[in-house]
Structure 1
Amino acid sequence: MQTSIDLVRRHPARYRVLTGDRPTGPLHLGHYFGTLQNRVRLQQLGVELFVVVADYQVLTDRDLADRPAGHAEELVLDYLAAGVDPDRATIFTHSAVPALNQLLLPFLSLVSVAELGRNPTVKDEIAHSRQGSVSGLMFTYPVHQAADILFCKANLVPVGQDQLPHLETTRTVARRFNDRYATAVFPEPEALLSEAPLLLGTDGTKMSKSRGNAIPLGATEDRTARLIRGATTDADRRITYDPVGRPEVSSLVLLAALCQGREPAAVAEEIGSGGAAALKRHVTEAVNEHLRPLRARRAELAKDRAHLRDVLRAGNERANALADATLSEVRHAMGMG
């Protein structure tokens, strides 16, 4: 099932949202326009927001990143700089909430190996894995996400179209648990489909931390300019907005438009026959202008690393209290205590 943003606006108190990121590196412009802005909007509407720093999920397809605690702090830094309010949102880490992860065991008993193997998101993750083989943990990825969502009984999950299979797994787990144990412990969460546009990376493929083609939120203005100068375009000097026919050029046009709050076609028309060089100058100015306040907040917040750890500590305490209560309900329903 899907929920419209209009319904959320009318009844924000009905919704508890779970979202999050893996701490594999700094967040970038794709995250900012794809998820961060939406989280802030939901928070401002009055929706209860939970944000997981999914450090355990880093293990699903690669070795644990260096300095996982440092990466977690960097995510918190990006969240706060973008406007997530830790007084109104619960920001926590997987590894600090044992009861959440313990839910994985009963949840795995509710899905078949065949169902896990058919999950298209798992297939895509495996295809893009840089390893010759993947661990068994990869196949538990959708069920681990179900534990993330259900431990706090979130009933709304912002997702892209490609993530709907994961959410359907969560709905299946909730429904089967409630049916098997004749109880109503878990809601079946609904999807809030993201309308965020797809931004390509500097190499013309999907912007991704792991592909090294992203523009980090915390990059300096000079580094931002260098990254944009190196972006893939084409030989046609006339700049147009044609996402199908000219995806790389159009992604740059779209990025400028998002930063300036304009229509992409108008941006392309303004640049006209200036070619790739003029386009990249325009995009660089737009990005640096738009991110300047965020980067200033980020630099100020970075001076107090203890505050970032305090935010995580408080969020972990809140998440643990909820996870312990949910696990207790689960054990009672299963006749285990």
Structure 2
Amino acid sequence: MELTIERATKLQTKPNWSDLTFGTTFTDHMFVMDYEVGKGWYDARIMPYQDLPLSPAAVVLHYGQTVFEGLKAYKDDAEEIFLFRPDENMKRMNDSCERLCMPTFDGQFVIEAMKQLIEIEQDWVPEVDGMALYIRPVMYATEAHLGVSPSKQYRFIILLSPVGSYYAEGINPVKIAVESQFVRAVKGGTGAAKTAGNYAAALKAQEVAEKEGYSQVLWLDGREQKYIEEVGAMNVFFKIDGKIVTPELNGSILPGITRKSVLQLLRHWEMDVEERRLSIDELLEAAKNGTLEEAFGTGTAAVISPIGELFYKGEKTVINNNEIGPVAKKIYDTITGIQSGDVEDPFGWRVQVI
């Protein structure tokens, strides 16, 4: 499939990087391609950023057929631009498509199109520590049809947005509320897919937590509401009695790419790591007896976010004196160093754009 390019005739004035808030500023161009059953993917193009038509009867509006991804582009001191493990994002997005009965795509073609789009928009990649160009691939069902069945037509888009820190706290510890009323996902559902419905299901709990002064919600399993799963925008890790523990992937937890990278790093450093079920009771008992040493979240948006406080059923638990721990700090420095080119990449995670 050929990729056509239409350049914008009028470009925006670049924002002041220090004024950026996450996900509100978009670049001058975007990537789009379309799909139709019997025809396959067609009309791949880079075009000026703009609104696109959508029928009020589009399947995505009524039955939620949509998946997305999130990754970043980084500029190093030599002004070369790199991606971080984009092949993993494409694989996960195709897995999400399979779960939502949506068409899969050629991940390598999309990565190459992504590179061309970023090359056009290279001046939008911030040259500031802690900032990057956020990349949002999204696919949604466009067929105008009110029957409950998979759409026969889809659109694939890639948006670019320069961003700073996801959390206002930056790398400082965040406060997390443990959710004991609402449920986000269950095994056998769509929790392992990156689809909009999972996030919509989390909004009410998030709203309640924010009113109480908490940045995010820590979800428990949907059946017993006993076992820790993930934070709304992150997977979670805990250092308990010298071991790093993270909930095992069970079908209701998103298989995070930063999570996977952290596990590879920890094992590369020959640290003691466990992927297993971890109950909230075990975690709180570890906090009480002094063996809970660190807690942190992992994700593309924040990379590493230390957790300084948990709130559960009216009780607050402070972790590591509400300070970033040495393991979280080492992981953060290593991953962001690899992304920026300041730290050696022994895993081949960096993919050069230009």
TM-score by length of 1: 0.26
Which structure shows the higher strand fraction? 2
TM-score by length of 2: 0.25
Instruction: Give the number of the structure with larger relative contact order, counting CA–CA contacts within 8 Å between residues 6 or more apart.
Output: 1
Which structure shows the higher helix fraction? 1
